[in-house]
Chains A and B, each alone.
Chain A
Amino acid sequence: CRSKESIRCYSVFPKHYTKPIFRKEEQDELVTNEKFQAATYLSFKPACIDETSSEFYDPLVSKFINYLIKQGKKSSARYLLERAFLSIKMIQLQAYNSCDSNDKEKIELDPKVILRNAVENAKPVMELTQIKRAGQVYKVPIPIDSRRSRLLAIRWLIQAAKEKTRTDFLYDRLAHELIQAHNNQGRTIKKKQELYKQCQANKSYAHFRW
C-alpha cells in the first residue's frame, strides 16, 4: 500500500497544524494581541498528555521525565522523579530542622528550583566533534546551542545517578546527584570540567571547523 503516489505520514496530523497554546496566561495574552485574528483561522494539534494548564506544571520537569523513560513507561518515570523530589525534600528538611536559625535561609527547599539550578550548572558551552582532514581524524571543539546543551546536562545527570553504587534506590541516588550539582559539586560538574580541559587542549584544531 506504500506506493510513491500516496505517501502516508506517520503523524495523524498534517504538517500545517500548529502547536497548541495550553497555558492560560499565554491564551489571555494572545486575545489582547493583534495576532489573535490570524490565529482563529489556524488549525491546532491537541495538547500532549503532560501539557496542562495546572499551577504545578513545569516544562523542564516534563522534559526530564521524557529523558528518564524506559520502554515507554512514562508513569514509572514520573514516579521516579517525584520520589526523587521527595528524597530531596527529606534531605533538605532534615538539614533545615537541625541547623541554627541564622543559616536556615540559605537552605533551598524547593525541589524544582534545585532541579533548575542543577541543570543550569551542568550545561556545557562547547563540545568535541570528530572532523576528518587529510586522512586524519581530529577532535575539534565547537560551540553548541541551548537545546543541545540542555540535552547533555540532563543526560549526564541521569548517567551519574545510574553509575553510583547500587546500594540505594535510583531515586535516592538521583536526589543526591541533583543536590550536589545544585551546589556546583559532584560527578556531573566534574564531567563538564573534563570536557572543557580537552577543549582547551585541542584549541589549535579549532580552525578545522570551517
Chain B
Amino acid sequence: MELLDKLGIDWRLLVAQIINFGVLLFVLHRFLYKPILGVLEKRRKEIKENNERTKELTEKVERAEEEYEKRILEAEKKSQAILKETEEKAGKLKNELVEEGRKNAAALLKESEEQSMREKDEIRESILKETNALVKESVRKILQRVADKKTSELLWDKAEKELKKHDN
C-alpha cells in the first residue's frame, strides 16, 4: 500500500480516469468516428463503384471493338469469298461460252461445207444436164446432117439409150 501511495496510485483517481476514458470513447464514437468513418466508407464505396463501372464500360468498349474487328474481318472474308465465287463463275461461264461458240462455229462450218457441197452438186447436176442436152442436140444435128431420116432416127434412138445409161 505504501508503494502504491508513493507511486500516487489512488483507486478513486483510477476509477475517475477509467470513467474519463469511457466517456471520451463514447463521445468520440458518437460524434466523430461514426460520422467521419461513414463519410470515408461512403466515399470509398462510391470510388469502388465508379472504378467498377469504369472497368465495366472499358470492357464493354473493348468487347465492342473486338466485335467490330471481327465483323470487319468476316465481311472481308465474305467479300473475298463472293469475289472468288464470282470469278470462278465468270471463268466457268467464259469457258462455257467459248465452248458453245466453238461448237456453233463448227456447226456453222459444217453446215456451210454441206451447203457448198450441195451447191457444188447442184451446179454439177445442172452442168451435166446442160451438157447432156447440148450433146443430145449436137448428136441429133450431126445425125440429121450425115444420115437420112430413117437412119438418123434409128441411130438417135440408140444414142438416146446410150445417153440415158450415162444419165443414170
A and B held together in a complex: no
Chain A residues with a Cβ under 8 A of chain B: none
